[in-house]
């Protein structure tokens, strides 16, 4: 009934978090660390704001979702006009070597529950995603890069930076 926000997997247990509200008339107040890219990543679809909610993460994680750390990101999308395709966010933690983490896709996420082609101009939708790190990601600061994939599985080729994450040695 509600979009999935995140999941945790401590030994023998599965914990799931759900968003009770994901669509808004106005963008709610955001934290001081929020990024405001206000970048159109597809025709009629703007990444208005985003928040890296886990700004410090261990690459190798053994308690909540072994074997790797997850970067939790909250995206705020706004329809700036008619949207003629159904898009899903892509997200990566990137370094000079390439991607060290990519997002996990879930069937019950916000952009699957409310396909972007059904949005009216002005619609604001909160989209929560997790980026699964490679457990051998070197410790340092990385940008979080957001893009879009269309219904045919093709990237739009436009990306926005959504802040950074500090990857630390095992905790």
pLDDT in tens, 49-77: 999 999 999 998 877 667 888 899 999 99
| pLDDT single digits (tens) 83-92 | 999 999 999 9
| pLDDT single digits (tens) 112-141 | 888 999 999 999 999 999 999 999 999 999
**How far is 170 from 167, CA to CA, in rounded Å?**
9
Reply yes or no on domain 4-24+34-168 having CATH 2.60.40.770: yes
Average pLDDT of 6-25?
60
- In this prediction, residue 65 carries a pLDDT of 65
Phi, psi of 133 (to 5 degrees): -80, 150
In the chain, where are the structural domains located?
4-24+34-168
**How far is 92 from 147, CA to CA, in rounded Å?**
9
Average pLDDT of 32-55?
95
Query: Phi-psi region for residue 114, left (φ > 0), alpha (ψ -120 to 50) or beta?
Result: beta
Average pLDDT of 25-40?
91
Look at residue 21 and tell me whether its pLDDT is greater than 80. Answer: no
- Give the range among 3-7, 22-26, 129-133 with minimum mean pLDDT: 3-7
Q: Which helix (H) or strand (E) holds 112?
A: helix 110-113
- In this prediction, residue 26 carries a pLDDT of 86
- In this prediction, residue 15 carries a pLDDT of 58
- In this prediction, residue 124 carries a pLDDT of 95
């Amino acid at each position: 009934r509600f979009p999935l926000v995140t999941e945790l997997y401590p030994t023998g247990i599965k914990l799931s978090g759900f968003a009770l509200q994901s669509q808004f008339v106005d963008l709610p107040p955001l934290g001081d660390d929020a990024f405001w890219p206000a970048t159109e990543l597809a025709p009629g679809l703007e990444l208005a704001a985003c928040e890296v909610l886990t700004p410090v993460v261990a690459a190798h994680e053994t308690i909540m979702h072994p074997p790797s750390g997850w970067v939790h990101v909250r995206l705020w999308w706004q329809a700036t006009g008619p949207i003629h395709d159904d898009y899903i966010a892509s997200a990566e933690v990137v370094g000079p070597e390439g991607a060290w983490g990519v997002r996990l896709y879930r069937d019950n996420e916000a952009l699957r529950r409310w396909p972007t082609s059904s949005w009216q101009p002005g619609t604001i939708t909160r989209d929560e995603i997790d980026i699964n790190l490679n457990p051998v990601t070197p410790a340092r600061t990385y940008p979080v890069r957001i893009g879009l994939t269309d219904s045919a599985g093709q990237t739009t080729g436009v990306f926005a930076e959504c802040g950074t994450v500090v990857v630390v040695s095992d905790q």
